[in-house]
Amino acid sequence: MSDQPTPLDKSPERIASLFCEVAPRYDFLNHFLSLSLDRSWRRLAARDLFKSLARDGSVLTSPVLDVATGTGDLLMTLIKESRRRKFQFVTDKSGPTVTTFDGTTRGVDERPFVGLDFSSGMLEIAAKKIQRSGLEEQTTFLQADATAMPFANDTFAAATVAFGVRNMANLDQGLAELVRVVRPGGYVGILEFTMPRGWFFGPVYRFYFKHVLPRLGRLFSTNRQNAYRYLYESVAAFDDRETLAARMRHAGLVDVSAQPLTFGTVAWYKGRKIS
């Protein structure tokens, strides 16, 4: 019997190892394989989230959390959108503290954006990108499991996840954690792949996703665990839009929406916590 993990082994150790392997080429492949559409998906998510947050004014007294932040693309997009909308953040250095990815101790509310991931390889790249962009004073990075986050209840104004919830070993626990750490009145936003419908585009996309994308992934990113075959299998086995939206409601969110993007290949989900 083989001692290799099954294709949909979602243990934290396996997923962290997989993403550490692909980290050096992760950004390039994301942009290349999506024809750079991933940039527009993140911009739409950031704009919609801050449009919702703006209903409470342009001052935030709680930070924004990006879970499964990876190499920090959504986090950077969120920061840029907050600046575009001229949001002001009231920071608090007297609140609860956490141990950051670089080993320092810092207040959770000391900086307006927090990025969390359990892959050290991804976080190393994210920290370097943020530093090159001159945004390091805006950001705190933590290495932790999204299903057991080291934050108190009601800590954040919003929590986002881009292409990460389908990798959670326990999705319902992960959703419960997202809701737990967001303050009442705050938002949870999820950007995730979906399988498109339709008699023509659906089968064409499935063929590309199953047969072409893994080969391209192997060509440009050598990794022992065949990450881009896992990508197809994890998306194919994941919830459809209606099911994930229902699970978000079950986790305690209201006004849940699921907006399909690019012919239904991706969806932007958003819900509000009321208590």
pLDDT tens, position by position, 114-167? 999 999 999 999 999 999 999 999 999 999 999 999 999 999 999 999 999 998
CB 159, CB 247: distance < 8 Å: no
Buried b (16+ CB within 10 A) or exposed e, 7-30: eeebebebbbbbbbbbbebbbebb
- Reading the block at residue 153, the tokens are 């209840």
Cα gap 231→20, rounded to integer Å: 15
Owner of token pair 């101790």: 105
pLDDT tens, position by position, 224-266? 546 667 777 888 888 999 999 999 999 999 999 999 999 999 9
> Does residue 5 carry a pLDDT above 60?
no
Cβ neighbors of 206 (< 8 A, separation 6 or more) are 195, 236
Cα gap 68→161, rounded to integer Å: 6
Q: Which of 14-18, 25-29, 203-207 has the lowest mean pLDDT?
A: 25-29
> Does residue 102 carry a pLDDT above 60?
yes
- Reading the block at residue 138, the tokens are 């805006």
- Reading the block at residue 10, the tokens are 């979602």
Measured N-to-C along each axis, helices 37-53 and 73-84 cross at an angle, to the nearest 10 degrees, of: 50
Using alpha carbons, select from 193, 172, 189, 168 the residue that is nearest to residue 269: 189
Maximum CA extent, the chain: 59
One-letter amino acid for residue 158 of the chain = A
CB under 8 A, 24+ apart: contacts of 215-222: 216/29, 216/32, 216/33, 217/29, 217/33, 220/25, 220/28, 220/29, 220/32, 221/22, 221/24, 221/25, 221/26, 221/29
Cα gap 19→121, rounded to integer Å: 7
Give the 3-state secondary structure of residue 81. Answer: helix
Q: Is 68 left (phi over 0), alpha (psi -120 to 50) or beta?
A: left
- Bridge partners for 260 per DSSP: 267
pLDDT of amino acid 17: 72
Buried b (16+ CB within 10 A) or exposed e, 79-92: bebbeeeebebeee
CB 243, CB 196: distance < 8 Å: no
Give the 3-state secondary structure of residue 118. Answer: coil
> Does residue 32 carry a pLDDT above 70?
no
Q: Which of the given ranges, 88-102, 135-149, 196-210, has the highest pLDDT on average? A: 135-149
